[in-house]
Each structure stands twice: as C-alpha cells, then as structure tokens.
Chains A and B, each alone.
Chain A
Amino acid sequence: MMRDHSLIEELMAIDALGGLDPADRELLANERSSHGVCEECARIEAEFAEAAGRLAFALDPIAVDDAVADAILRSPQETTAAGPGRVVDLAAAREHRALWRTLVSVAAAVVLVATIVILRSPGGEVAILRGAGPERLEITFSPGEPGVSLSGSGFTDLPAGQTYELWAIRGDTPIKAACFGTEDGGVDLDIDATIRTGDLMAVTVEPECASAPSTTPIITADTSNLT
C-alpha cells in the first residue's frame, strides 16, 4: 500500500526553498528516516529541487570576472605543494575520497565531510566541512599542534541522547577529536585536539560520545573493495 506523502511533500517543498525552521528540519529528517528508501520521496525531492534551482534564472544576471575561474583552476596545483598561504585540499587524495565514499555509504550518520582547507592567517588553517544541507563547520587549527577551534552553523539541534562527533581520519584510522552539541544550529567551541595536514575530517551523529572509534559505523565499514 502506498504511504501517505502529504507531510513529507510539504516539508520538502519548503526545504527546497531553504525555508524550513530547525524544528521542521528535524521533522523532515525523521520523516525521511521513517520512509526509508522511497522512490516517491526521491522523486518529490528531486522535482522540487529542480524547480527551486530554476528560480534563480528569474533574476538579471550579474557579470563575474573570468579571474575568479582562473583562481579556482589554479587551486589544485597549489594543493600539491601545501604550505603557508596555499590552498590545501584535505580530501584530494584519491584513496581518501574512495574511502570516504564507502564510509559515507555505510555510515548513514555521517553528516559532514571535509571539502577544502584554506589558510586564514600565518599561524592557522581552516578546514571547511559542509553537509548536504546547510550544515557548515569551520575548523581552525595549526597543523600538528594542540588546540582547535570549531565554528559552525546550520546544524539540526540533536535530541537528548545524541551528539555530534568530530573525527580526524589519519590513514585509515578515525581518531576522535571532540564531541559537541549545537544551540540554535550553531557551535562555537575550542577543543584540545591535534590535527595534522593531510587528516581527513568528518562529523558523525553518535548515540554517545564514543571513546573508541570501533563503536561507530565508520570503523566497521568494509573497505576491502576500495579502489
């Protein structure tokens, strides 16, 4: 029997336009979970996303200098020679990307993965993690030195009994960096962790602040088929 999609359709319509309040974002997450793998949900979401994306073209376009494209295209070369003042790609290594594709597919609780690191000041780098939605986390650190600052927004405030957990993936080993909660979807926190250049960062949702990574879906991922 076909499930009722009226609630999730309404939530997805608003979500496509970026208009959900935090409480309804959580409700949508619960609805998604409740519907599980659902072709109808996927169709509704895709169609609304398509319509929403097209709305942008109602506006008069504004010229963008080709130099912006040049700067973007230059960034990968700088990635290979990471150093002060350079743009660094934490997720550039192909094995890391492949690993993460598998990890994310197994660990449904993974909400953020690292995208880029940029130098903010001579003494610190900033890893910017983004989720599929509005979640964004900036991790400011000095490579190899203790002391990390977290600043994030767009998160769903978790119910009691759940926590966000930050991981540094070093090689194939997830290393716990910190657990954190959010307030009004935001987080500002200093933690006593050490991140090295080349670590891959991730955030998961955990039932409790895990002391050992073996308790999380991350470490149980089957990586034997990685390319």
Chain B
Amino acid sequence: MALAIADRHRQGLPWSEPMTALDPSEARDRELVLRVCRGDEEAFRWLFRRYAPAARALAQRVVRKPHLAEEIVQEAFLALWKNPEGYDRDRGSVRSWLMGTVHHRAVDLVRREEAHRRRAGEAVQDALGTDPDPAEQVTEELALPEERRAVRSALDQLPAEQRRVIELMYFDGLTQSAIAEKLALPLGTVKSRTLLAMRRLRTTLGGMER
C-alpha cells in the first residue's frame, strides 16, 4: 500500500519519489501541501490563490448559486487547512484532489436540495436556477490558462455525444439516470458513453502524474 505524503514525512522518507512525468507545478503543489502539514500559512495561501478561483467556478457551475459556491469553496479549503494529510499523492495531483473535493460537495448539495424538493412535493424543475452575483468577476490572475486550454482541447476532442454526457454529469451534477431521461437515451448508452469519454480524457489529459 502506498504511503500518503504525511506518512512519508513522519517516517522520514522522501515524500516525493523520483518521478518521470511530474510537471514542475505539481511538484511545487506537493511541496506546498507538505508545508501546510507543518502549519505553514503562506503555503496555504499560495494554494488558495492558485486554486480557489477554479474551485469557485466549478462549485458555482454545479450549484448555480454564488453564495453556496463560496461556502463550498470555504469548506473545501478549510478541510485542506485542517487535514492536509488527507492528500494522497498516489491518488492523483493536488489540483485534481482539490477539485474532486469541491465537486463532491457541490454535487452533494445539489442532490440534497433535489431530495428536499421531492419530499416537499414540489414540482421537479430547475429550481436551482441561476442567482447571478453582480460582484462576480472572472479572474485571469493565476488563472492557469495553459491548463484551461489543455482541458478544453481534451473536451473538444470528444465526440459530441460523449462530451454532452460528461458536461451534464460533471458540470451540471446530473446522475446517469437523470441524463438518460433528459436525453431520452437508454441508461446503458449513457454509461457506455461516459466510460468511453473518461478513457479518452485520462489519455489526453495525461493520466496521473506520479
């Protein structure tokens, strides 16, 4: 079983083993997480400034409410500050881990709201809606433009029907069955398109940087 970085740190092991495909920014991120393990506030701030804008965009895309998105981002980074040992380098990059945390929380919130609406007997509709924040602004500072280009390119390379499923599932927080219903497709088709798309994405996005 591979060791989490905090375990490596405690055992005096090199926590960043020789890696062949680790890009400099990921190596720096891992170093920053290790420093956060030691309580380094500056390291935390650096990670926050670098990734909170993307986290906010993701949360807001899923929950559609700026104030809820901000809460999700705060929760996710609070978890990073309080439990940085939760990061396991063998399970992926720091940025994917952070975004995964945010996505879990956002989807969970959307599903809870849906469940509450169902229990209240309300009509199933897009009640989340949008709640535009006039103060909202797109930030280009630390916007990771190269990363954005790479990911958009990877999405663009997907067949349109696969991309649609990925967008609905990841960015809109829909379940496989909700997508099947929305697109009037058999559930099995949604599943197979998801799998094919994810196989392509893990290849085009380079897979893991161990």
Name A residues whose Cβ lies closer than 8 Å to a Cβ of B: 9-10, 13-14, 16-21, 24, 37, 42, 45-64, 66, 68-69, 71-73, 75-76, 89, 91-92, 115-116, 133-134, 136, 153-154, 184-186
B104: A residues at CB distance < 8 A? 18, 133-134
CB-based contact A13/B195 at 8 Å: yes
Residue in chain A with minimal CB distance to B138: A60
CB-based contact A49/B169 at 8 Å: no
A37: B residues at CB distance < 8 A? 1
Inter-chain CB contacts under 8 Å: number: 225
CB-based contact A50/B191 at 8 Å: no
> Nearest-CB distance from A199 to chain B (Å)?
17
Q: How many residues of B contact A (CB 8 A)?
A: 82
Q: Scoring B residues 106 to 143 as 1 if CB is less than 8 Å from chain A, else 0, what string do you get?
A: 01100110010010000000000000000011111111
How far is B70's CA from A64's CA once the two chains are assembled, in angstroms? Answer: 8
Residue in chain A with minimal CB distance to B52: A64
B139: A residues at CB distance < 8 A? 61-63
List, sorted by A's number, 6 A–B pairs whose CB atoms are closer than 8 Å: A10-B191, A53-B92, A57-B147, A61-B57, A62-B137, A134-B108
CB-based contact B78/A75 at 8 Å: yes
Flag whether B159 is at the interface (Cβ < 8 A).
no
Q: Scoring B residues 1 to 31 as 1 if CB is less than 8 Å from chain A, else 0, what string do you get?
A: 1000000000000000000000000000000
CB-based contact B155/A55 at 8 Å: yes
A14: B residues at CB distance < 8 A? 169, 176, 191, 194-195
A47: B residues at CB distance < 8 A? 92, 202, 207-208
Residue in chain B with minimal CB distance to A136: B108
CB-based contact A89/B208 at 8 Å: no
CB-based contact B194/A48 at 8 Å: no
> Nearest-CB distance from A38 to chain B (Å)?
12
Please pick, from A52, A68, A134, A153, the residue contacting B73 in the complex, using a CB distance under 8 A. A68
Please pick, from A57, A62, A116, the residue contacting B60 in the complex, using a CB distance under 8 A. A62
A50-B93 contact, Cβ under 8 Å, with A21-B176, A62-B56: yes
How far is B61's CA from A60's CA once the two chains are assembled, in angstroms? Answer: 10
Please pick, from A45, A46, A56, A71, the residue contacting B99 in the complex, using a CB distance under 8 A. A56
> Nearest-CB distance from B95 to chain A (Å)?
7
> Nearest-CB distance from B124 to chain A (Å)?
14
A62: B residues at CB distance < 8 A? 53, 56-57, 60, 69, 136-139
